[in-house]
Amino acid sequence: MSLLEIKNAHLKLDDKNILNGVSLSVNKGEVHAIMGPNGSGKSTLSYMLAGRDGYELEKGEILLDGISLSEMEADERARSGLFLAFQYPVELPGVGGMSFLREAVNSRRKFLGEEELDHLAFVKEARKEASKMYVKDEMLKRAVNVGFSGGEKKRFEILQMAMLKPTVSILDETDSGLDVDALKIVSDGVNAQRNSENAIVVITHYQRLLDYIVPDFVHILSDGVIIKSAGPELALEVEKNGYSGLINAA
């Protein structure tokens, strides 16, 4: 059984068709990349999966580990093991990084039937994971994403992913706004979390990120449908010839 199953997903925003029948199966241990030109529906797909208000499916179904997500709110989906790394992580003035992480992690632990971590145990765990992502203690004391650089924001996203241990992670244009060094740190962080029990869906414009996070499958999204799926070589083809050839051929 697939870990994530998207079946014939249709979605409209303001009466405009955005997703026109997306289907995708992601199995345990796999990394999938979804590529596509601007306006192809990539970010809509990620919001739809995460359960943002207003992004409800008009038709189709999504299953996480065999369970339908349609009736679940965003927070329930997250607790069930779905994680979205934001293209533009949101600033939360006044909400301290450490207490934010703790709230998130304990919500997930409670769902999994695990005991909530006490303050000390949590801080220890958070610091350990943070150091792997080059996130300094001082950053955890600051308000979430407030005054963070582009790179810091993305590192903080991957730190959250590491601490929440999701079964399916969707990385929405995680490479945007990153320089080469930051891209490497973030990619290393993601790769360290790849295992045989989880799956990752990388949404991106560019091949560049896929040099670091090497996918098993690449899908091309255009006009709200997947027009082509293949191995990592497809990303190289896009890099070389652009999207237009593929779109015209479809």
**For tokens 């993305």, what's the residue?**
154
| Region of 72-80, 119-127, 177-185, 213-221 interacting with another protein (CB under 8 A) | 72-80
Tell me the pairing of strands 225-230 and 217-222: antiparallel
Position among 27, 29, 111, 127 found at the interface with another protein (CB under 8 A): 111
Considering only the stretches 15-23, 68-76, 189-197, 206-214, report the one whose residues sit in contact with another protein under the rule CB under 8 A. Answer: 68-76
> Which residue of 63, 117, 123, 143 would you call a contact of another protein, by CB under 8 A?
143
How many residues bind another protein, per CB under 8 A? 28
Task: Establish if 164 lies at the interface with another protein (CB under 8 A).
Answer: yes
153 is a site residue for another protein (CB under 8 A): no
Residue by residue, DSSP assigns the chain as: --SEEEEEEEEEETTEEEEEEEEEEE-TT-EEEEE--TTSSHHHHHHHHHT-TT---SEEEEEETTEE-TT--HHHHHHHTEEEE-SSPPPEEEEEHHHHHHHHHHHHHHHTTPPPPPHHHHHHHHHHHHHHTT--HHHHHSEETTT--HHHHHHHHHHHHHHH--SEEEEESTTTT--HHHHHHHHHHHHHT--TT-EEEEEES-SHHHHHS--SEEEEEETTEEEEEESTHHHHHHHHHTTHHHHHH-
Segment interacting with another protein (CB under 8 A) among 7-15, 94-102, 132-140, 211-219? 94-102
Nearer to another protein, 86 or 217 (CB): 86
Q: Does 160 bind another protein (CB under 8 A)?
A: yes
Q: For residues 83 and 243, which CB has a smaller minimum distance to another protein in the complex?
A: 83
As measured in angstroms, the least distance from the Cβ of 249 to another protein is 36
CB 142, min distance to another protein, A: 12
Question: Where does this chain touch another protein (CB under 8 A) — which range of 18-26, 105-113, 177-185, 217-225?
Answer: 105-113
Footprint on this chain of another protein (rule: CB under 8 A) = 50-53, 73-75, 78-79, 83-84, 86, 89-95, 100, 103-104, 107-108, 111, 143, 160, 164
